[in-house]
Amino acid sequence: MQKYTFKPYEDLFPALYKQEAARLSSIAGIIQHVGSTSIPGMGGKGIIDIAIAINYDLRASIKGQLEALGYSYSLKGSTPERMFFKTDLPDPLLPYRTYHVHLTFEESTEWKKLIKFRNELVAHPELAREYEDIKKEAAARAKENGIIYRDLKEPFFKKIAF
């Protein structure tokens, strides 16, 4: 399966997020839908991205809770401020859909960027369309190279002024 691809927006994205957020509700934290699937009408990879802000001192126990729910921790996708997890779950349209959890804390730069980026694109549909076009082109040009894919999107992130 291609990792860097572009798929149109599906109206079921918010419902998929809500269903998974309910499953994650035992985690003591703030749970938010982020990423392209959180932007109405925006296409992308079709991955449901979920950000969870927790008390940072609890990250080890929350890591265990996420793993018990079927999420795998990825050191490669993590940063000093964010622990990255992923899982694949059954989906009404596909054999499965990938879900990412970005576990961080409210004061972190990572949390602030995720929330600000989503809010900017929701508030400014013209920016969302511009970013969607960039994602489409990046998926076509990257040829499964994640570095190229991210590099092609980077100028847009700077435009949002993190």
- pLDDT, tens digit (0-9, with 9 covering 90-100), for 82-116: 999 999 999 999 999 999 999 999 999 999 999 99
Q: Mean pLDDT score of the chain, rounded to an integer?
A: 94
Residue 28 banded pLDDT, cuts 50, 70, 90: confident
Band (pLDDT 50/70/90 cuts) for residue 161 is: low
- pLDDT tens for each residue of 66-87: 999 999 999 999 999 999 999 9
Strands 48-53 and 97-104: parallel
| Section 52-66 average pLDDT | 93
Question: What CATH topology corresponds to 13-160?
Answer: Beta Polymerase; domain 2 (3.30.460)
Domain boundaries, the chain: 13-160
Helix (H) or strand (E) holding 89, with range, is strand 83-89
- What's the confidence (pLDDT) of residue 56? 87
What CA–CA distance (Å, rounded) separates 92 from 161? 37
Query: Cα–Cα distance between 145 and 149 in angstroms, integer?
Result: 6
Contact 13, 42 (CB under 8 A): no
Within 10 A of 11 (CB to CB), how many other CB atoms are there?
Answer: 8
